[in-house]
Structure 1
Amino acid sequence: MRRAPRIAPEAAMADLRPAAVVQAAAALLWLPQAALLAFAVGGIAAGQGAADMLMPAAAVAGFGILRALLDAAGSRLAFRMARQRLSALRANALEALARRSPLDAARPPSGLAASVVVEQAEAVVPHLARFQPARWRAAVVPLAILVAVLPVSWTAALILAAAAPLIPLFMALVGWRAKAVSAAQLVELGSLNGALLDRLRGLATLRTLGAVDAAACRLRAEAESLRRRTMAVLRIAFLSSAVLELFSALGVAMVAVYVGFSLLGVIDFGHWGQPLDLGRGLFILLLAPAFFEPLRELAAAWHERAAGEAALSALAALGAAGPQIQGSDAGAAPAPAGAPAVRLEAVRLRHAGQAEAVFDGLSLHIAAGEHVALLAPSGGGKSSLLALIAGLVAADAGGILIGGEPLTQESAARLRARMAHIAQRPHIFAGTLAGNVRLGRPEVDLAAARRALGAARLDAVAAARGAAPIGEGGHGLSGGEALRLAVARLAAAPHAGLILADEPTAHLDGATAREVADALFRLARGRTLILATHDPALAARAHRIIRLSPGLKEAAA
């Protein structure tokens, strides 16, 4: 699997600087526009003719068109780059999730992960596309306007400079609270999505236990909690908008009062010797709202920044370090033929967060072509041992050899290509029976898939269903048929010389369990089979039985 580049939030923001520079340049074009407009109006008031206004009017129109083009180009560039950064962040999170070991107890629930990647992550785009350009404009444009106003009137420049810091100051105070509330809302949303997915998956069980109404009441309470948190976010947004408009309006009003009284002759200070005339006063008035506009945009983007940073934190949590699957199956070399021997040498495994080791110095040898049953009660380490052999989790100490080759990060994919796995509850994808057998393997054609279905005694089911698709999760198949479909996948992989079966007959009635076991042992002829079970009758069909216990060191037959 090709690894996507890691994108830190700071790097993602830095990549948007070209778009921010373009948008800041577009905003700065208002300076010559305002100057042309103001002094053109002043010229008209002084008696200049319409012919004298043609060149200023054409220049104003040209600057306006250029400003609109630059602003549109900057917005499109910012959105496109933000979308690319989000795609990279999503790829990083999904890659990290795909590499997390199935034995990792801290692995995020699928409902929460889906909510973060699909829904909550969308808050990153407005955060990146708006906040970074707004921050650049807020840093550049007001300073440029102050530089332009100062030679005309130092009083007007002083008013603008005094009013400017109040907006980001109060926005920061409100924004800190907004970030905390937005993060709490995203957590609540993810929890609700995860709870809903769990309820939908267990709907049949809830109906059997008569707990549908209780589950509905619980979901209703969680939805009400989410509503309250959402309203808290909206209250903060309205509060910050009120603060923003108040200080912007006060700043513009103070400048307008000063300019008005100066033009009326009531005030005769704040300029550099020459009193304000209509052109200079209008120039200051045109620039005053533009002075506060970048600050207002920054304050508006501050809420998107709060939601975006909460989404970035959620994506980072999905990619947090934890036990990982060894190697990568993408581009794995073709599996060599033959049944491999399996050897464990002084293997130690302790799950994260647990003080006691599952295995401590475990040594085990399974000969090539041998059928071994791992017998232990639930929680006895059967699944953990299969995961170790498959490279789904790395041992803390010791070594594992498959066919004489050490299982390492570099060799895990190649060695896993020699294995086939049958889970207790195999996942069935939406599609046809043959499509579930092939599972994207181009070397398995339709004829091979049909032969595999026949080997698993599913040919009659396939003939009855025809082209009718199976629902996601095996909807439309019984539990026994789903397990036989997993056996059919094994039959379509004749190169897999090592079979790992984890409780293949659990939760099945006696007759169906015997059918699945018969098919499994029939396909396991000439292959190495490691079977995890708590059923003594199934274990008795193997060549050798190994009884597992906590802290086991030497495997006993």
Structure 2
Amino acid sequence: MARSDPLRLLLVPVAPAMRRLSAVAVLASMIWPLQAALVALAIGAALQGQVAGALVAGFVVLGLGRAALSALADRMAQNAAEAVITNLRCRIVTREALRSGRDLGPGATASLAVEKLAALSPWITRYAPASARVAVVPLVILALAFWQSWAAGLILLISGPLIPLFMALVGMAAKEASARQMAEIGSLNDLLVDRLAALLDIRLLGAAGAVTQGFATQAGDLRQRTMAVLRLAFLSSTVLELFSAIGVAMMAVFVGFSLLGQLGFGTWGAPLTPTAGVFLLLLAPEFYQPLRDLAAAWHDKAAADAVADELAVWEAGQGDALPGTGARTARLSGPATINLRDCVTAHGLHLPDMRIDAGQAVALVGLSGAGKTSALRLMAGLELPGAGSVEVAGQPLTEERVDAWRARIGWMPQRAAFLATSLRANLALGRDGDLDAALDNAAAREVAEALPRGLATRLGESGGGLSGGEARRMTLARALFSQPDLILADEPTADLDRTTAQAVTEGLLAQHANGRTLIVATHDTDLAAQMDRIIRLGDTT
């Protein structure tokens, strides 16, 4: 598959509009040969002492029509660019809100949605129309040149291909430079997000100087990569201007010496007339103009290629789409039971059958990669199985029921994640619940009170201002906030010291003692031993 395919696929939603745009852009350019013919005829008539008012009037009318078509093409191109970019931004925002995993960091994703997608606009508004004109206009002008003089046609035929040849050579380097620049922009944005999230820790540790120096170094790298892109852009402009200038100069020399009678070849028998000479001189710049426009916009295509590649990486790095709508809804009725039968995940992992009754405490154990997290995600309705079935509360778990089922669940992920807002908002997430009870049950009240502004303390996505154990206790408090019937905890004690792990374990067991169903995926043998049941996944020998 051609490397340009990912880029062309971005235009699929506006394909009809792009075809109309190409037709209008080509039509606007094709008016010039008619204008050139009128100018040449007018000059020829003037040399013979004739009045050429009608020819001048025709030239003006055609010029107005060309200007109107060019303006229409520009407006159509802007509308198409806006439609493509808006659609992609909506996709990114929607999928970031509804998807469970991502390969790019938050800063890189934001940069992709805001800064980098804007690089598609010049490609759509400049490169796409120019490529349509290149496919038609030079060929028509070449035919007209050969019609008047085989030598003039030969000049254009030899000099014309040199522009796209060198344009392609420069373009390959421009693509690599643009890709490096785009990657550096994303890295710098990710670094900024991480440092802002950990701003409190940086100030407490007195690391502001080192952080500032790191920003300065990475900003310097970005500046160098940006200048590399600009150098290549100027190089390509110089090359195309050189060859187009040489071609126009050769045409002028041929026409001039032919009209002076110094050249006796190059025509189809009859000497070159002043009208034909002027016509060729007016056609020559327009022959190169589409090629020049295309070459000038070549670095726009290089930047757009880099963006398309990053979009492909973003698409590939996304987790499976979150089932349901995420809307608040009434809780699904029925006992908090779960039954997995013949389940195969979307990634092809086979899980053993398991039935968990209401009020049980169950530990899922096994080697890394055995499917503990995947089983929890299927139980929580965060994924639907690729094969097999999941029953919850005695009913099949379907796309229509997942929101109501998740309303009954307290989810404690393995990796603590927070919104860039207050601790209170991170715990409540817009739900109704008992915040004091959640903090007490998670042994997290003293953690909240120790923060500079208590529950009003603003956190970053990585939980800046909280240690690993504190962040884990806060995720437990968040899971308990809405008083769920079922608690799903993924490695709740991993990487915690003994004291903190014991506090988290006691909080979970207290919820089980209150009648809640508790399911944990864990490598912690002490935690697993305190559950009612242990379900082993994969090979644990």
TM-score, with length taken from structure 2:
0.78
- Deviation, 1:156, is 1.6
Matched, 1:139 2:135: yes
- Deviation, 1:18, is 1.3
Higher mean C-alpha displacement, 419-428 vs 159-168: 419-428
Q: Structure 2 CA distance, aligned partners of 1:277 and 1:350?
A: 75
- Deviation, 1:329, is 3.1
1:193-204 mapped onto 2 (5 Å cutoff): 193-204=189-200
Matched, 1:497 2:479: no
Q: What one-letter code is carried by the residue in structure 2 that aligns with 1:497?
A: D
- Deviation, 1:520, is 9.9
2:309 to 313, 327, 333: 313
Q: Secondary structure at the match of 1:328?
A: coil
- Conserved? CA contact 2:334–2:394, under 8 Å: no
User: In the alignment, which residue of structure 2 is the partner of 1:3?
Assistant: none
- Deviation, 1:284, is 1.5
Q: Structure 1 CA distance, aligned partners of 2:474 and 2:179?
A: 45
- 1:13–1:139 CA distance, 2 compared to 1 (3 A): farther
Higher mean C-alpha displacement, 526-535 vs 413-422: 526-535
RMSD: 4.6
Matched, 1:280 2:272: no
Q: Secondary structure at the match of 2:320?
A: coil
User: In the alignment, which residue of structure 2 is the partner of 1:544?
Assistant: 532
Matched, 1:223 2:238: no
**Aligned residue pairs: how many?**
523
2:168 to 145, 159, 172: 172
User: In the alignment, which residue of structure 2 is the partner of 1:289?
Assistant: 285
User: In the alignment, which residue of structure 2 is the partner of 1:186?
Assistant: 182
Q: What one-letter code is carried by the residue in structure 1 that aligns with 2:406?
A: R
1:209-248 mapped onto 2 (5 Å cutoff): 212-248=208-244
Q: Secondary structure at the match of 1:327?
A: coil
1:462-501 mapped onto 2 (5 Å cutoff): 487=477, 491-492=481-482, 497-501=485-489
Matched, 1:530 2:519: yes
Q: Secondary structure at the match of 2:275?
A: helix
- 1:428–1:483 CA distance, 2 compared to 1 (3 A): farther
Matched, 1:437 2:436: no
- Conserved? CA contact 2:188–2:218, under 8 Å: yes
For structure 2, the residue ranges without an aligned partner over 5 or more in a row are: 1-6
Higher mean C-alpha displacement, 379-388 vs 197-206: 379-388
User: In the alignment, which residue of structure 1 is the partner of 2:3?
Assistant: none
Q: What one-letter code is carried by the residue in structure 1 that aligns with 2:265?
A: F
- 1:262–1:376 CA distance, 2 compared to 1 (3 A): closer
1:96-111 mapped onto 2 (5 Å cutoff): 101-102=100-101, 107-111=103-107
Matched, 1:26 2:22: no
Q: What one-letter code is carried by the residue in structure 2 that aligns with 1:427?
A: F
- 1:200–1:282 CA distance, 2 compared to 1 (3 A): same
Higher mean C-alpha displacement, 421-430 vs 132-141: 421-430
Post-superposition CA distance 1:340-370 (Å, at most 9, x none):
1123457788999xxxx9xx86554432134
User: In the alignment, which residue of structure 2 is the partner of 1:335?
Assistant: 331
Q: Structure 2 CA distance, aligned partners of 1:535 and 1:204?
A: 32
1:86-125 mapped onto 2 (5 Å cutoff): 86-93=85-92, 101-102=100-101, 107-125=103-121
- Deviation, 1:390, is 1.8
User: In the alignment, which residue of structure 1 is the partner of 2:68?
Assistant: 69
Q: Structure 1 CA distance, aligned partners of 2:330 and 2:169?
A: 60
Q: Structure 2 CA distance, aligned partners of 1:326 and 1:70?
A: 46
- Deviation, 1:548, is 7.1
Q: Secondary structure at the match of 1:29?
A: helix
- Conserved? CA contact 1:323–1:394, under 8 Å: no
Q: Structure 1 CA distance, aligned partners of 2:28 and 2:246?
A: 26
Q: Secondary structure at the match of 1:148?
A: helix
For structure 1, the residue ranges without an aligned partner over 5 or more in a row are: 1-5
Post-superposition CA distance 1:484-538 (Å, at most 9, x none):
797478555x6x5323345779979989997997799579955433356789999
User: In the alignment, which residue of structure 2 is the partner of 1:427?
Assistant: 418
Q: Structure 2 CA distance, aligned partners of 1:193 and 1:405?
A: 45
User: In the alignment, which residue of structure 2 is the partner of 1:250?
Assistant: 246
- Conserved? CA contact 1:422–1:487, under 8 Å: no
User: In the alignment, which residue of structure 2 is the partner of 1:8?
Assistant: 9
Matched, 1:366 2:353: no
- Deviation, 1:176, is 1.6
Q: Structure 1 CA distance, aligned partners of 2:23 and 2:472?
A: 58
Q: Structure 1 CA distance, aligned partners of 2:144 and 2:36?
A: 11
- Deviation, 1:551, is 3.7
Q: What one-letter code is carried by the residue in structure 2 that aligns with 1:66?
A: G
- Conserved? CA contact 1:428–1:436, under 8 Å: no
1:413-424 mapped onto 2 (5 Å cutoff): 415-423=405-413
- Deviation, 1:79, is 2.0
Q: Secondary structure at the match of 1:320?
A: helix
- Conserved? CA contact 1:338–1:527, under 8 Å: no
Q: Structure 1 CA distance, aligned partners of 2:74 and 2:509?
A: 60
Matched, 1:403 2:402: no
- Deviation, 1:429, is 4.7
- 1:68–1:466 CA distance, 2 compared to 1 (3 A): farther
Identity %: 41
- Conserved? CA contact 1:453–1:485, under 8 Å: no
- Deviation, 1:10, is 6.5
Q: Secondary structure at the match of 2:136?
A: helix
Q: Structure 1 CA distance, aligned partners of 2:216 and 2:479?
A: 41
